[in-house]
């Protein structure tokens, strides 16, 4: 799942290195528009809904956290 | 009670003294009493709305918390939210209704022909800080609903969160979880933090009294007599009006955050040198930060994750393309956010236009990012160069100035007239024929305003490039340090715009 998600997001956002940091939101690498793009990519690729409660820094700070989120909601 | 008055200075120093003498357990009670006193002197009639909003939100949050706490382990979040949603909606309806009445009530009663102070119009009150405390309460309630915060047990502590006096005038918009933790803590006197707080208050006075109130003389004269001025005079008035707004609002924030820092309470920053922003989106991450963050957390993100919108975007993907679907997922919430941001600032058509203008700029740059990047490549523009950054800063400033011109004159008719008259004549001779000195600021005061703006720009630039001004000042020897303090104090006292029968202008954002 992790590698598949990494490939998907790297294609969507080639300017972002998703393995660069474990604190992508805190470091300002991901802003709200990028997070929107990630939500769009994930929901449309995997057909899942991400509830608003899951939109937290912890779930978006790293590719591992994002992969966990997708697995949990799939 | 105005922030820029001797009464306020006396008030805060008495408060500081009592605050650090009293036992830690009593500190929040003292802050509540001080806030009630401040609110009573500033907006006594507003207590009626404050009490209704407090009661509605306090009860609703406790009921929602009760539903969550009593839930069985097998009950999922969806069903819990379903049960608590009516309570949430009821409380939100009450606070939003009161906000709407305070914002548009007089428009309705005027349209109905009811005289002010008579009949229905007597119920219309414009309490100080209603936009700020209402947004704080909505955020608190939403956080309890989404389990991001717990309901406050003590209604008096919730009241303090609502009307904490440094932030009630113009924000920053508070977040309950963080502020409640601050009120619970024991606050010990820290000499360094106290000095930093005082310095910040003084800097706020400088921005407000030396720059903002001085420039307001020029801008008021220009915008209330549009027929008398044209061309560069009005363009200069718009530029001055932008600087005036920044100094007025960020000056108030400096006073608010400085007072809070003296009390060992950290409020959210509301400004981060916005005039160095390279894009419109970045500008709004640096200007009125807490408003942008509030809309992001409580309107934009909930919309982005809304199942109905996601399903709609999936249909767009099937029918058109993935790009259309992804753009729709950000464009629709952005449009709503900017419409609401416009309405938050005012209910006039020009405020709605102002919100849509910012929305259009940000949506355009979001949707067409790939094309803009491609165009830069084709034109061989080095987007990483310093000159390109400066160009982008200039472009963002221009976008901001246009937005300022839309609302500077307060009505759509005068806004159109302003744009017409700004560009009807190119009159560079106004720089030489002394006509600029006929708008209320003589040569000496104009010079003073320009020097003060240069000083402001210097410190903003230094901070933007990493210099920590207050820490740097603290590192100087005591004689030089005090020379700088006295220079700033006397600048405010001597160069502040007081005039006969001095009464400082209200802060511009106070009415929002």
pLDDT for residue B334 = 94
Supply B461's token pair: 């630039």
Distance CA(B3)–CA(B179), nearest Å, equals 21
Distance CA(B29)–CA(B35), nearest Å, equals 10
Q: Which domain holds residue A60?
A: 2-73
HSE (side-chain half, CA atoms, 13 Å) at B192: 6
Q: What is the CATH number of the domain that holds A11?
A: 1.10.1200.10
Distance CA(B81)–CA(B388), nearest Å, equals 49
Peptide bond into B154 cis (omega under 30): no
Distance CA(B354)–CA(B363), nearest Å, equals 14
Residues linked to residue B271 through DSSP beta bridges, in sequence order? B287
Residues 6 or more apart in contact with residue B488 via CB below 8 angstroms:
B202, B203, B206
**Which residues of chain A make contact with B300, given a CB cutoff of 8 A?**
32
Supply B52's token pair: 């209704």
CB contact under 8 A, A44 and B314: yes
Nearest chain A Cα to B281, which residue?
A33
Residues linked to residue B287 through DSSP beta bridges, in sequence order? B271
Nearest chain A Cα to B285, which residue?
A31
Q: Which of B322, B296, A12, B367 is nearest to B313 (CA)?
A: B322
- Per CB distance under 8 Å, which residues of B are interface residues toward A? 77, 146-148, 281, 285, 296, 300-302, 304-305, 307, 310, 313-314, 317, 322, 325-326, 329-330, 333, 366
First-residue to last-residue Cα distance in chain A: 11
Residues 6 or more apart in contact with residue B61 via CB below 8 angstroms:
B91, B140, B141, B144, B151, B152
CA B240 to chain centre: 19
CB contact under 8 A, B305 and A49: yes
Residues of chain A with pLDDT under 50: none
Give A19→chain B minimum CA distance, Å: 23
Give A33→chain B minimum CA distance, Å: 7
The SS3 call for residue B199 is helix
* Count of structural domains within chain A: 1
Q: Give ∠ CA B333-B338-B343 in degrees, rounded to 5.
A: 125
Give me the helices (H) in B368-477, please: 369-378, 386-408, 412-422, 443-464, 469-475
- Dihedral sign, CA of A54, A55, A58, A60? positive
Is-contact B441 B449, C-beta < 8 A? yes
For an interface test with A, give the residue of B305, B318, B368 to mutate (most A CBs within 10 A).
Answer: B305
Distance CA(B18)–CA(B289), nearest Å, equals 32
For an interface test with B, give the residue of A31, A49, A52, A69 to mutate (most B CBs within 10 A).
Answer: A52
Residues of chain B with pLDDT under 50: 500-501
**Which residues of chain B make contact with A32, given a CB cutoff of 8 A?**
296, 300-301
**Which residues of chain B make contact with A50, given a CB cutoff of 8 A?**
305
CB contact under 8 A, B329 and A39: yes
Distance CA(B248)–CA(B251), nearest Å, equals 5
Is-contact B158 B46, C-beta < 8 A? no
CB contact under 8 A, B147 and A53: yes
Q: Which of B77, B304, B322 is closest, CB to CB, to A53? A: B77
Q: Which of B33, B59, B228, B271 is nearest to B151 (CA)?
A: B59
Nearest chain B Cα to A53, which residue?
B146
The SS3 call for residue A13 is coil
The residue behind tokens 């899951």 is: A54
Window 40-59 of A, Cβ < 8 Å to B: 40-41, 43-44, 49-55
Is-contact B484 B202, C-beta < 8 A? no
**Which residues of chain A make contact with B325, given a CB cutoff of 8 A?**
40, 44
Give B510→chain A minimum CA distance, Å: 28
Q: Which of B94, B96, B99, B83 is nearest to B59 (CA)?
A: B94
DSSP characters over A23-67: -TTTTTSS-HHHHHHHHHHHHHHH-----GGG-SHHHHSSHHHHH
Supply B60's token pair: 């609703």
The DSSP output letter for B441 is: -
Peptide bond into B172 cis (omega under 30): yes
Q: Give ∠ CA B448-B450-B454 in degrees, rounded to 5.
A: 115
**Which residues of chain B make contact with A45, given a CB cutoff of 8 A?**
none
Size of interface A-B (CB pairs under 8 A): 51
């Amino acid at each position: 799942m992790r590698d598949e998600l990494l490939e998907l997001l790297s294609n969507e956002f080639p300017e972002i290195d998703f393995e660069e940091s474990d604190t992508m939101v805190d470091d300002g690498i991901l802003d709200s528009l990028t997070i929107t793009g990630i939500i769009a990519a994930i929901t449309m690729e995997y057909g899942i809904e991400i509830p608003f409660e899951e939109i937290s820094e912890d779930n978006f700070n790293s590719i591992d956290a994002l992969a966990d989120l997708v697995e949990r909601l799939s | 009670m105005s922030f820029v008055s001797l009464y306020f200075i006396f008030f805060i120093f008495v408060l500081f003294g009592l605050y650090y003498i009293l036992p830690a357990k009593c500190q929040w009670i003292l802050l509540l009493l001080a806030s009630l006193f401040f609110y009573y002197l500033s907006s006594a009639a507003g207590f009626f709305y404050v009490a209704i909003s407090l009661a509605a939100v306090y009860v609703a949050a406790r009921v929602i918390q009760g539903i969550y706490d009593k839930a069985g382990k097998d009950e999922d979040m969806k069903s819990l939210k379903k049960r608590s949603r009516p309570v949430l909606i009821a409380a939100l309806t009450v606070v939003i209704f009161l906000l709407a009445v305070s914002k548009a009530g007089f428009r309705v009663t005027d349209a109905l022909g009811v005289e002010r102070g008579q009949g229905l119009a007597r119920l219309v009150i414009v309490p100080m800080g209603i936009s700020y405390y209402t947004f704080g309460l909505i955020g608190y309630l939403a956080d309890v609903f989404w389990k991001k915060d717990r309901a406050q047990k003590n209604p008096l502590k919730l009241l303090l969160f609502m009307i904490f006096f440094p932030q009630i005038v113009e924000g920053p918009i508070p977040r309950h979880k963080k502020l409640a933790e601050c009120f619970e803590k024991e606050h010990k006197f820290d000499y360094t933090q106290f000095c930093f707080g005082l310095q910040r208050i003084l800097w706020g006075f400088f921005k407000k009294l030396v720059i903002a109130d001085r420039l307001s003389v020029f801008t008021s004269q220009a915008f209330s007599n549009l027929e008398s001025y044209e061309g560069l005079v009005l363009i200069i008035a718009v530029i001055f009006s932008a600087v005036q707004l920044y100094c007025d609002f960020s000056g108030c924030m400096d006073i608010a955050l400085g007072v809070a820092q003296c009390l060992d309470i950290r409020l959210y920053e509301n400004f981060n040198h916005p005039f160095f922003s390279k894009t419109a989106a970045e500008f709004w991450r640096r200007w009125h930060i807490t408003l942008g963050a509030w809309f992001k957390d409580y309107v934009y993100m909930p919309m982005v994750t809304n199942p109905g919108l996601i399903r709609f975007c999936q249909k767009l993907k099937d029918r058109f393309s993935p790009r259309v679907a992804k753009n729709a997922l950000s464009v629709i919430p952005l449009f709503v956010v900017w419409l609401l941001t416009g309405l938050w600032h005012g209910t006039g058509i020009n405020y709605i236009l102002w919100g849509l203008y910012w929305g259009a700029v940000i949506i355009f740059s979001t949707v067409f990012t790939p094309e803009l990047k491609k165009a830069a490549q084709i034109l061989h523009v080095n987007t990483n160069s310093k000159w390109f950054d400066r160009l982008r800063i200039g472009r963002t400033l221009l976008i901001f100035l246009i937005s300022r011109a839309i609302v500077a004159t307060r009505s759509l008719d005068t806004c159109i007239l302003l744009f017409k008259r700004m560009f009807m004549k190119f009159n560079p001779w106004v720089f030489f024929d002394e006509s600029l000195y006929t708008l209320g600021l003589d040569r000496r005061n104009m010079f003073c305003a320009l020097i003060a703006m240069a000083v402001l720009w210097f410190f903003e630039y230094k901070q933007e490039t990493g210099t920590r001004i207050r820490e740097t000042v603290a590192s100087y020897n005591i004689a030089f340090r005090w020379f700088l303090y006295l220079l700033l104090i006397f600048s405010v006292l001597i160069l502040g715009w007081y005039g006969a029968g001095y009464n400082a202008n209200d802060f511009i954002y106070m009415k929002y």
